[in-house]
């Protein structure tokens, strides 16, 4: 199978898995938002944010480094994986007391701290299960873990909905998550032993030091990248503003969760591309081709629709997804829609930077971006609450885009899309946006505006020659093979 065919196939597996699991999760979040209300829903988002950052701190960037190294040295996979698994588990367990310390220093209520403690234990089990997934990604076997991910997501989100329906509230969700994490760790552990090899925990101080030195740049980058995305939730919980902390998070998180659904295809592309780029890092033409093609697809399929929907239909989206009680989130949704559009645009560059051994060059920049976000968010939250947090995130993402494309040129010597090709995509996008903006300002009804938007977007797709050719080729292949 050719590199391109394998990449498309693997991306397809991960994308189908990602979109399905995200849909299951989104339906649960929409239901939970209605049942819990902005206050408890904000607490749920806060607990998720704290434990999410804890998981990254405990893993210390070993995951992407492990994928890169196992992809390049498959003959040493067994030995490498034994030490990688052991190191990851040692780090996350040793980091748990640090989580307890931070939560106490932040001064959250006793009941909130207790729930975070339980969620932290769930993270330890999830770290074990996630470590086993490294093997599938490194060996580019995406089918089985994708199917398992869909099944697990369906069962877990269904159980969460049932817990809320039975009236157990936020505590019930956290306890069920702990039980599912333990069960998932046991099942995934037995599965990998049967399908790959009988892994075991191992300790070698020199090898661990080498793994840590290689993973440290990933650790710093991963932590600060995620902190930049999640820190606003922490700041909203502690800074005084127009709304109490839980309510402010309860309004910020719905908008953020909607925009994160746009990351499904980019995340799938990142997972499928990283081992391929890592194992062919010396082939700059191939790397540039992956960047160009993925950027082209993301602009057409994700970025442009995301901007249109969050700019012209934020109230309708919030109302349908979460109910009228969350309508204050509409303005934040528009701002975050543009911010996540930049996030999606950066995905191909993120993959190439993660695959190079020169990744450490980006560390000062990512720390700077984190600082910029905090410096902007603090005064903006004080004056504008969750709207201010969204503005700070958008400005940070604009600056990040400039930095990452600069590093792409300096580290890889690769320039982004050709000007002519970029103009062919961006010019019709701009014309369509201006037309819709004039219609929006002219107070056209939402339903009519949606129809016009849909028609113009279809016309835009038809104007894209490469997209037309690929679509026709797909239809012809589908007809030739049949649906089954």
DSSP 292-327: HHHHHHHIIIIIHHHHHHHHH-HHHHHHHHH-GGGT
Same domain, 305 and 374: yes
Q: pTM here?
A: 0.72
Same domain, 337 and 461: no
Number of domains in the chain: 2
| C-beta of residue 411 within 8 angstroms of C-beta of residue 217 | no
Owning domain of residue 478: 421-484
CB atoms within 10 A of CB 86: 20
- At 460 the pLDDT is 86
**Number of Cα atoms under 13 Å in the Cβ half of residue 121:** 14
Point out the domain boundary residue: 396, 417, 438.
417
Greatest alpha-carbon span in the chain: 68
- At 148 the pLDDT is 67
Same domain, 430 and 413: no
Helix runs in 60-168, H state only: 62-72, 77-106, 110-138, 143-165
Same domain, 265 and 383: yes
- At 483 the pLDDT is 43
| C-beta of residue 375 within 8 angstroms of C-beta of residue 396 | no
| C-beta of residue 249 within 8 angstroms of C-beta of residue 257 | no
Point out the domain boundary residue: 358, 391, 417.
417
| C-beta of residue 264 within 8 angstroms of C-beta of residue 393 | no
Same domain, 427 and 385: no
Nearest to 71 by CA among 288, 354, 362: 354
Give me the tens of pLDDT residue by residue for the chain, a chain 484 residues long: 444 455 555 555 555 666 777 778 878 888 888 888 888 888 888 888 888 777 766 566 666 666 666 666 666 666 677 777 777 788 788 888 888 888 888 778 888 888 888 988 888 888 777 766 666 666 656 566 666 677 777 888 888 889 888 888 888 988 988 888 888 777 777 766 666 666 667 677 776 776 677 677 767 777 777 777 778 888 888 887 778 878 888 899 888 888 887 777 666 666 656 555 555 556 666 666 667 777 787 888 889 999 999 999 999 999 988 888 889 999 999 999 999 999 888 877 766 665 555 666 677 888 888 899 999 999 999 999 999 999 999 999 999 888 877 777 776 666 655 656 677 788 888 999 999 999 888 878 888 899 999 999 888 888 776 665 555 554 455 455 444 4
Same domain, 368 and 455: no
Same domain, 257 and 307: yes
- At 310 the pLDDT is 94
Same domain, 360 and 439: no
CB atoms within 10 A of CB 107: 9
Nearest to 358 by CA among 288, 286, 407: 407
- At 63 the pLDDT is 64
Nearest to 24 by CA among 146, 122, 160, 133: 160
How many whole angstroms separate alpha carbon 225 and alpha carbon 343?
11
From residue 194, how far is each of 48, 187, 198, 346 by CA, in Å? 32, 11, 7, 38
Point out the domain boundary residue: 417, 438, 459.
417
| Sign of the dihedral through C-alpha 119, 125, 129, 130 | positive
How many whole angstroms separate alpha carbon 321 and alpha carbon 330?
11
Same domain, 377 and 276: yes
């Amino acid at each position: 199978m050719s590199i391109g065919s394998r990449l498309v196939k693997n991306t397809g597996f991960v994308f189908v898995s990602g979109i399905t699991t995200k849909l299951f999760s989104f339906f649960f979040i929409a239901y939970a938002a209605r049942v819990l209300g902005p206050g408890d829903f904000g607490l749920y988002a806060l607990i998720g944010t704290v434990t999410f950052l804890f998981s990254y701190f405990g893993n210390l960037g070993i995951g992407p480094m492990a994928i890169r190294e196992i992809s390049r040295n498959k003959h040493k996979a067994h030995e490498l994986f034994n030490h990688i698994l052991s190191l990851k588990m040692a780090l996350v367990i040793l980091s748990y007391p640090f989580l307890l310390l931070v939560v106490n220093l932040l001064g959250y209520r006793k009941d909130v701290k207790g729930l975070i403690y339980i969620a932290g234990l769930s993270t330890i089990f999830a770290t074990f299960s996630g470590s086993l997934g490294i093997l599938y990604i490194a060996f580019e076997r995406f089918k089985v873990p994708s199917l398992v991910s869909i099944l697990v997501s369906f069962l877990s989100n269904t159980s969460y909905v049932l817990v809320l329906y039975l009236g157990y509230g936020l505590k019930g969700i956290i306890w069920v998550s702990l039980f599912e994490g333990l069960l998932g760790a046991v099942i995934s552990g037995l599965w990998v032993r049967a399908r790959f090899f009988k892994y075991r925990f191992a300790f070698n101080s020199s090898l661990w030091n080498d793994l840590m030195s290689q993973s440290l740049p990933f650790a710093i980058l991963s932590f600060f990248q995620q902190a930049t995305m999640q820190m606003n939730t922490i700041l909203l919980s502690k800074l005084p503003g127009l709304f109490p902390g839980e309510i402010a998070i309860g309004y910020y998180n719905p908008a953020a969760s909607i925009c994160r659904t746009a990351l499904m295809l980019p995340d799938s592309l990142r997972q499928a591309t990283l081992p391929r780029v890592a194992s062919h890092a010396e082939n700059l033409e191939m790397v540039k081709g992956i960047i160009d093609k993925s950027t082209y697809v993301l602009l057409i399929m994700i970025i442009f629709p995301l901007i249109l929907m969050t700019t012209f239909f934020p109230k309708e989206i919030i109302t349908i997804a979460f109910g009228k009680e969350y309508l204050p989130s509409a303005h934040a949704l528009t701002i975050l829609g543009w911010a996540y559009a930049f996030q999606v645009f950066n995905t191909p560059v993120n993959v190439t930077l993660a695959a190079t051994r020169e990744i450490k060059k980006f560390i000062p920049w990512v720390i700077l971006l984190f600082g910029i976000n905090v410096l902007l968010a603090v005064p903006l939250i004080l004056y504008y609450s969750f709207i201010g947090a969204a503005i700070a995130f958008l400005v940070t993402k604009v600056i990040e885009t400039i930095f990452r494309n600069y590093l792409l040129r300096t580290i890889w010597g690769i320039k982004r899309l050709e000007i002519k090709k970029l103009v062919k995509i961006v010019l019709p996008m701009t014309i369509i946006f201006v037309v819709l903006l004039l219609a929006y300002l002219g107070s056209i009804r939402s339903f009519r505006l949606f129809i016009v938007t849909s028609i113009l977007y279809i016309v835009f797709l038809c104007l894209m020659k490469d997209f037309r050719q690929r679509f026709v080729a797909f239809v012809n292949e589908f007809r030739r093979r049949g649906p089954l």
